[in-house]
Amino acid sequence: MNLKIKNFSKINGTVKAPSSKSYSHRAVILASLSEGKSKLFDVLYSEDVLSTIRACEALGARIDKKKEIILKGDKSQTVDYLEVYGTGGKLHNVSDDPSSDMIDLANSGTTLRIMTSVAALSDNEVIFTGDDSLKTRPMGALIDALETLGVKIESLNENNKAPLKIYPGYEGGQTDILGSISSQFISSILISAPLSENGVELEVYPEFVSKPYVDMTISILEKFGISVEEEEYQFHETCKKEHTDCLGVKFIVKPQKYIASDYIVEGDFSSASYLLAATAIAGGYIRVQNLFADSKQGDKLILDILEEMGANVTVFDDYVSLRSDGNLKGIDVNLSNAPDLLLTVAVLGALAEGKTTISGVKHGRLKETDRIDTTCRELEKLGCKLEEFEDGMTIYGNTISDGIVESHGDHRLAMAFSLIGLKHDVEVENGECFDVSFPNFIEAMAEIGIDLELK
């Protein structure tokens, strides 16, 4: 189905940001590893998070949607939440034939990366597979790091990609991993490490991209009773301390137990970026609730980017407001700690005056698609002048025209490119994939005056 902006009026309104996909994944997994019952509020029921829920259920957690009536003065409010009875870290693949039955994770790379480590805690074999896109995701760096910790993983196609068969056993010890590939590999080890036999010392070097995602992981680990120590170390012992190129980060996780917790999932800055960007492009006013000033999300950088491009952004404790006259200017921005903003910023740059240079996103080539390549190719379909680099691109603004682009099954491309329809007649083929991370994208856009259609 094609996604297209049908029409829009003056942009104005208040909308609640969708819950964070990253925090939703982590909350479900940590609650599933805990002893006792957790209540998770404002979980995002996107396709990716549903994959995580199914994987945790397959390994023994009991997960149900519930409702609770909360009294506030004379008024009552019904609140939905996810009730999770955890395994206490004692995982078991409930399949009748765990040595051959596969757990299908669909398109969720986050689920695959985090649950690959967690599955080693099961007392029997676990096999993860997924759709064609998921089977292209490189997993070799994580497999190598886990094997050093006594985890046996078999790539059934012998290419270090899914399907992956994980055998029981997780000794722990010391291992290292490159920080320039995927922060999810690091989060995966940190989440599983407390339940290993001996704990884990994980050394990350040299360049550490997307570190805010690891900071997010550590913050939610604390909510479920897990402590992580972090310190700098020199991975070249002969180098002097001031030689910062040889400084890495060491995480120390001792054996610990997860404690059940009631947890509220905060709003997602990457998903909210489409609402904010739409207002910045078309002009108008928006207030986005459930975005917190003290959030550890790296994608909070979108606020600084929009401000620099010409929008007026105001940050409050639990919401953000933006006002724009629709006139934006190009900027230079490094997105190494916020790679999920690549598509949003590229579209903003294409509709701004002057040129926009995006750098630091080489790891964006390892996402649902090679996002640097697909972004450039789809912008070129619209006539956009640009230059592509290994770690980013330069986009020359206001050089695009009407046309049709392809989503490549990438939810972020579908949502970001649909925004071009605020200035040009553009539609996105196979645009329905936005439900991977933002199931109510069309409804949220309607709340601020933008009428999107799937046809």
For residue range 299-347, list pLDDT tens digits in order. 999 999 999 999 999 999 999 999 999 999 999 999 999 999 999 999 9
Is 137 one of the annotated binding-site residues? yes
**How many whole angstroms separate alpha carbon 201 and alpha carbon 175?**
6
- Tell whether the model's pLDDT for residue 259 goes beyond 80: yes
Number of domains in the chain: 2
**How many whole angstroms separate alpha carbon 92 and alpha carbon 263?**
25
Strand locations in 17-89 (E): 37-41, 62-72, 75-85
Write the DSSP symbol of residue 98.
T
CA distances from 452 to 145, 216, 281, 340 (A): 45, 32, 16, 22
- Least confident stretch, 37-51, 71-85, 108-122: 71-85
DSSP three-state, residue 339: helix
For residues 40 and 13, membership in a common domain is answered with: no
pLDDT for the residue numbered 210: 84
Record the tokens describing residue 164, joined without a space: 């992956």
pLDDT for the residue numbered 243: 55
For residues 99 and 133, membership in a common domain is answered with: yes
52 in a structural domain? yes
pLDDT for the residue numbered 364: 85
pLDDT for the residue numbered 70: 78
For residues 219 and 272, membership in a common domain is answered with: no
The last residue of one of the domains, among 197, 219, 251, is 251
For residues 212 and 343, membership in a common domain is answered with: no
DSSP three-state, residue 142: helix
pLDDT for the residue numbered 391: 95
258 in a structural domain? no
The last residue of one of the domains, among 187, 222, 251, is 251
Strand locations in 130-271 (E): 153-155, 164-166, 173-178, 200-205, 229-234, 247-253, 263-264
175 in a structural domain? yes
The CATH number that applies at residue 64 is 3.65.10.10
For residues 396 and 309, membership in a common domain is answered with: yes
pLDDT tens digits along 166-212: 999 999 999 999 888 889 999 999 999 999 999 999 999 877 878 89
Do you find a cis peptide bond into 163, omega within 30 degrees of 0?
A: yes
For residues 317 and 396, membership in a common domain is answered with: yes
| Parent domain of 120 | 21-234+245-251
259 in a structural domain? no
**How many whole angstroms separate alpha carbon 34 and alpha carbon 63?**
13
Is 42 one of the annotated binding-site residues? no
Percentages (nearest 5) of helix, strand, coil residues in the chain: 35, 30, 35
240 in a structural domain? no
Is 182 one of the annotated binding-site residues? yes
**Burial profile 338-377: b = 16 or more Cβ within 10 angstroms, e = fewer:** bbbbbbbbbbbbbbbeebbbbbbbbbbebbbbbbbebbbb
First CA to last CA across the chain, in angstroms? 5
pLDDT for the residue numbered 206: 75
Is 108 one of the annotated binding-site residues? no
- Tell whether the model's pLDDT for residue 114 goes beyond 80: yes
Is 131 one of the annotated binding-site residues? no
pLDDT for the residue numbered 205: 83
262 in a structural domain? no
Record the tokens describing residue 121, joined without a space: 């805690």
CB atoms under 10 Å from CB of 238, counted, come to: 7
- 156 Cβ neighbours under 8 A, 6+ residues apart: 127, 163, 164, 165
CB atoms under 10 Å from CB of 230, counted, come to: 13
Is 188 one of the annotated binding-site residues? no
**How many whole angstroms separate alpha carbon 345 and alpha carbon 361?**
12
pLDDT tens digits along 154-167: 999 999 999 999 99
pLDDT tens digits along 220-242: 999 999 999 999 877 666 555 55
- Least confident stretch, 70-79, 115-124, 147-156, 383-392: 70-79
Is 324 one of the annotated binding-site residues? no
For residues 70 and 12, membership in a common domain is answered with: no
For residues 38 and 113, membership in a common domain is answered with: yes
Burial class (CB in 10 A: 0-12, 13-18, 19+), 73: exposed
Place of tokens 């682009």: 405
Gyration radius from the chain CA atoms = 22
Number of H helices, E strands in the chain: 12, 24
The last residue of one of the domains, among 197, 221, 251, is 251
263 in a structural domain? no
**Predicted confidence band of residue 369 (pLDDT cuts 50, 70, 90):** confident
For residues 220 and 331, membership in a common domain is answered with: no
- 325 Cβ neighbours under 8 A, 6+ residues apart: 283, 310
For residues 295 and 196, membership in a common domain is answered with: no
Catalytic residue among 294, 340, 373, 425: 340
Averaged pLDDT, 278-289: 98
Write the DSSP symbol of residue 268.
P
Place of tokens 């902006």: 5
For residues 355 and 380, membership in a common domain is answered with: yes
260 in a structural domain? no
Burial class (CB in 10 A: 0-12, 13-18, 19+), 242: exposed
Is 437 one of the annotated binding-site residues? no
- Tell whether the model's pLDDT for residue 247 goes beyond 90: no
For residues 318 and 277, membership in a common domain is answered with: yes
pLDDT for the residue numbered 242: 54
Q: What is the pTM of this model?
A: 0.89
**Predicted confidence band of residue 245 (pLDDT cuts 50, 70, 90):** low
* Inter-residue contact 165 to 154 (CB < 8 Å): yes
Q: Is 340 a residue of the active site?
A: yes
**Average pLDDT taken over every residue of the chain:** 94
Averaged pLDDT, 120-144: 96
C-alpha 85: how far from its chain's center? 25
Place of tokens 């550590």: 218
